[in-house]
Amino acid sequence: MSDPHSAPVFARYVALGDSQSEGVGDGDDRTGVIGLADRLAASMARAYPSLLYANLAVRGKLASQIRHDQLDAAVALRPDVATVIAGMNDLLRPDFDADAVGRHLEAMFEALTAHGATVATLTFPDITRITPLARPIAARTVALNAVIREAAARHGVVVAETCDHAVVTDPRLWSPDRLHASPLGHQRIADALAQALHLPGSDDSWTTPLSPPLPQQHPVAQVGTESRWLATFLGPWLLRRLTGRSSGDGRVAKRPELARFEERTGSLYNANTTPTAAATSTNSTATTTAATPVGGE
């Protein structure tokens, strides 16, 4: 558990990023998405009740777009803590350039830390352990994580090393599209960031494997699972890429201004309940924030 004597005190939290920080996979059109940044803000607000929170993240954005569209607005909000999570949308593009992503990340890290913010980011898991069909891009994840670490080290940015733990590729931490975290996954990421930031009450329990373990899937059944995923999720995603469309087209940040973080008890998901082998989400209770409803990809 984090040492309360060394824990920082935060009053103004701003999240920058793409769908993960916006909250896709954790909520829906009707209720609004929640996500790792909202869940991290909830942890901060429990420690610091006067916390102000803004979330500038928009799904589908590349690192260059996050820098261009969100950085100036974030700096203007004068955060004392910020999260910057970017690069996965770049990684999935045919023209992925890890060094270019690193330069955009570094520019964001430099600007935010220069204005006095504590900045946190994270590394990404090996997605081939979630989606076997992603093996051709496995080396890209290694390259992306390397530039994240290098840029973070140069600017004193806190890194939550989520890629090092087997639990992060448990299917129950991922939504059915395998591109976004499930409610439980978003909570685990938020807990990892909380530990990296030494928030009061945080610890390494987010690394604990889920119980019970999932049964091994028969190879024939696995082929069927992969085929359905190709048709249902990957195919439409690729079509959008080929036609130059993005899930973020026409969308704006769900929480563009700093405002007092207000918790409310919803009935969407219980992020602390392990989903069954047949599902990655469950209808029970969760902590969410009042935010403009926006839909998932």
Which tens digits make up the pLDDT trace of 11-24? 999 999 999 999 99
Q: What is the rounded distance in angstroms from the CA atom of residue 229 to the CA atom of residue 41?
A: 32
Taking residues 154-175, report their average pLDDT: 90
Q: Is the pLDDT reported for residue 55 higher than 90?
A: yes
Contacts of 66 (CB under 8 A, 6+ apart): 16, 17, 18, 57, 84, 86, 104, 108
Asked whether the beta carbons of 3 and 281 are under 8 A apart, the reply is no
Residue 247 pLDDT > 70 = no
pLDDT for residue 287 is more than 80: no
pLDDT at 296 (0 to 100): 33
At residue 43, the pLDDT reads: 96
**62-120 pLDDT, tens digit each:** 999 999 999 999 999 999 999 999 999 998 888 999 999 999 999 999 999 999 999 99
Structure tokens given for 44: 């901060």
- Among the residue ranges 62-66, 138-142, 218-222, the one predicted with the least confidence is 218-222
Q: Is it the case that residue 282 has pLDDT exceeding 80?
A: no
Given a cut of 60, whether residue 40 has pLDDT beyond it is yes
| pLDDT above 60 (res 38) | yes
Pick the range with the lowest mean pLDDT from 56-70, 205-219, 262-276.
Answer: 262-276
The residue that leads in pLDDT, 78 or 133, is: 78
Q: How confident is the model at residue 212 (pLDDT cuts 50, 70, 90)?
A: confident
Strands (E), the chain: 12-17, 27-28, 32-33, 52-55, 81-85, 118-122, 158-160, 255-260, 263-266, 286-289
* Tokens encoding 89: 């949308």
Long-range contacts of 207-210 (CB under 8 A, 24+ apart): 207/165, 207/167, 208/167, 209/166, 209/167, 209/170, 210/167, 210/170, 210/172, 210/173, 210/274
Share of the chain above pLDDT 70, in %: 71
Residue 232's pLDDT band, with cuts at 50, 70 and 90, is low
What count of residues does the chain have?
Answer: 297
Query: Average pLDDT of 207-217?
Result: 80
CA distances from 71 to 55, 100, 229 (A): 12, 17, 35
Residue 243: is its pLDDT beyond 50? yes
> For residue 166, how far is the Cα from the chain centroid?
17
As to burial, measured by CB atoms within 10 angstroms (0-12 exposed, 13-18 middle, 19+ buried), residue 117 is buried
Q: 60-74, 196-210, 217-231: lowest mean pLDDT where?
A: 217-231
Is 220 or 158 the better-scoring residue by pLDDT? 158
**Mean pLDDT, the chain, as a whole number?**
81
